[in-house]
Chains A and B, each alone.
Chain A
Amino acid sequence: GAVVSQHPSRVICKSGTSVKIECRSLDFQATTMFWYRQFPKQSLMLMATSNEGSKATYEQGVEKDKFLINHASLTLSTLTVTSAHPEDSSFYICSARGRVSYEQYFGPGTRLTVT
Chain B
Amino acid sequence: AQSVAQPEDQVNVAEGNPLTVKCTYSVSGNPYLFWYVQYPNRGLQFLLKYITGDNLVKGSYGFEAEFNKSQTSFHLKKPSALVSDSALYFCAVSPRGSEYNFNKFYFGSGTKLNVKP
Chain A contacts to B: CB under 8 angstroms? 4, 6, 32, 34, 41-44, 46, 49, 51, 57, 91, 93, 95, 97, 101-109, 111
What chain B residues lie within 8 Å of A111 (beta carbons)? 41
- Bound CA–CA A58/B2 (angstroms): 17
- Bound CA–CA A4/B44 (angstroms): 11
Chain B contacts to A: CB under 8 angstroms? 32, 36, 41-46, 49, 51, 90, 94, 96, 99, 102-105, 107-110, 112
Q: Which 6 A-B pairs have the closest CB atoms?
A: A108-B43, A106-B44, A109-B43, A102-B32, A106-B43, A43-B109
Shortest C-beta distance, B44 to chain A (Å), equals: 4
What is the predominant secondary structure among interface residues of chain A facing chain B?
strand
- Bound CA–CA A93/B43 (angstroms): 7
What chain B residues lie within 8 Å of A46 (beta carbons)? 104-105
Q: Are B102 and A49 in contact (CB under 8 A)?
A: yes
Most buried by A among B32, B94, B105: B105
